[in-house]
Amino acid sequence: MTHFSCIVVVPAFNEAANVSAVVRDINAQLPHADVLVVDDGSSDETSAFAARAGAAVLRLPVNSGYGVALQAGYKYAVAHGYRVVAQMDADGQHSAEYLPRLLAIVEDGDADVVIGSRFLDGDGHYTPSMARKVGMELFGRVATIVMRQPISDPTSGYQVMSIDVARFFTTDVYPADYPDADILILLHRSGYRVREVGVQMRMPEGASMHSGHRSVYYVYKMILSIGLTLLRPRPTGSS
């Protein structure tokens, strides 16, 4: 694989049906970027299909969680000398057509992290379940108040960040399960500049990681995590 300055990290769990199209979409929009699929202990052919589509593959031995898979990608990016790290989900809900725009903002130095927001444009194209909508709005408002800037989509996994942020995420501050509003607040408190850009997303076909009984745990965990983040001393040495 030819090495470039940008890498797109794609955490994947049992996404054999979708990962090939995701990798091809990224390659079409960012032909000069590398793609790393982090296979989070899949029981299907996710790794094989990702490799055939042209991605590098990092396979975790057991299913360890979304945050662990992302952090493995960040560690890979730091170790291999990339300057910018993007991330997209493997289920096909993120379109790579927005990557060049998000990437340019970080490369131009206008932000340290750019979040692709499905709600910023207010066009109603994305309609989550009522339970998830309530959670998104609740933690979006909390993040907005704490960060003193509007945050419309605190759960978006569509992001581009500088390598300094990725390096920050390789430490123990990064959660193993749901890195959402708590991480945005931590970034703000650590001196990093966070910006949202409106994007279009497709509704996921499978069950969300926040669905069912997991939504109750998610709300509890996020309240606890945000509280601990606000109590944590501001990190030193960040940008």
pLDDT digit string (tens) for 77-108?
Answer: 999 999 999 999 999 999 999 999 999 999 99
Provide the pLDDT confidence category of residue 222 given band limits of 50, 70 and 90: low
Spatial CA neighbour of 176 closest among 62, 95, 37, 36? 62
Spatial CA neighbour of 40 closest among 78, 76, 10? 10
Between CA 64 and CA 190 the distance in angstroms is 27
Are 183 and 105 spatial neighbours (Cβ–Cβ below 8 Å)? no
Residue 5 has pLDDT above 60, yes or no: yes
Task: Give the pLDDT score at 231.
Answer: 65
Q: How many CA atoms lie within 13 A of 108 on its CB side?
A: 8
Stretch 26-46: mean pLDDT: 97
Residue 219 has pLDDT above 80, yes or no: no
Residue 195 has pLDDT above 60, yes or no: yes
Stretch 220-232: mean pLDDT: 67
pLDDT over 90, % of the chain: 66
H-helix or E-strand containing 71?
Answer: helix 66-79
Are 51 and 1 spatial neighbours (Cβ–Cβ below 8 Å)? no
CA-to-CA dists, residue 81 to 42, 162, 166, angstroms? 27, 12, 11
Rounded to the nearest 10°, the torsion over CA 39, 55, 201, 62 is: 0
Residue 223 has pLDDT above 90, yes or no: no
Task: Report the 10 Å Cβ neighbour count for 233.
Answer: 6
- Parallel, antiparallel or unpaired: strands 159-162 and 84-87: antiparallel
Rg (CA), the chain: 17
What pLDDT digit, counting tens, does each position of 130-180 carry? 777 777 888 889 889 989 999 999 989 999 999 999 999 999 888 777 678
Chain centroid to CA 11: 9
Between CA 23 and CA 46 the distance in angstroms is 12
Residue 197 has pLDDT above 90, yes or no: yes
Task: Give the pLDDT score at 69.
Answer: 96
Residue 239 has pLDDT above 60, yes or no: no
Stretch 167-194: mean pLDDT: 88
What pLDDT digit, counting tens, does each position of 203-217 carry? 877 555 445 445 666
Task: Give the pLDDT score at 1.
Answer: 41
Spatial CA neighbour of 156 closest among 134, 177, 127, 136? 136
Q: Which domains does the chain have, with CATH numbers?
A: 6-231 (3.90.550.10)
What is the SS3 assignment for 85? strand
Specify the pTM: 0.86
The more confident residue out of 133 and 183 is: 183
The more confident residue out of 113 and 183 is: 113
How far apart, in Å, do the first and last CA atoms of the chain sit? 31
Between CA 15 and CA 138 the distance in angstroms is 30
Task: Give the pLDDT score at 213.
Answer: 44
Are 22 and 92 spatial neighbours (Cβ–Cβ below 8 Å)? yes
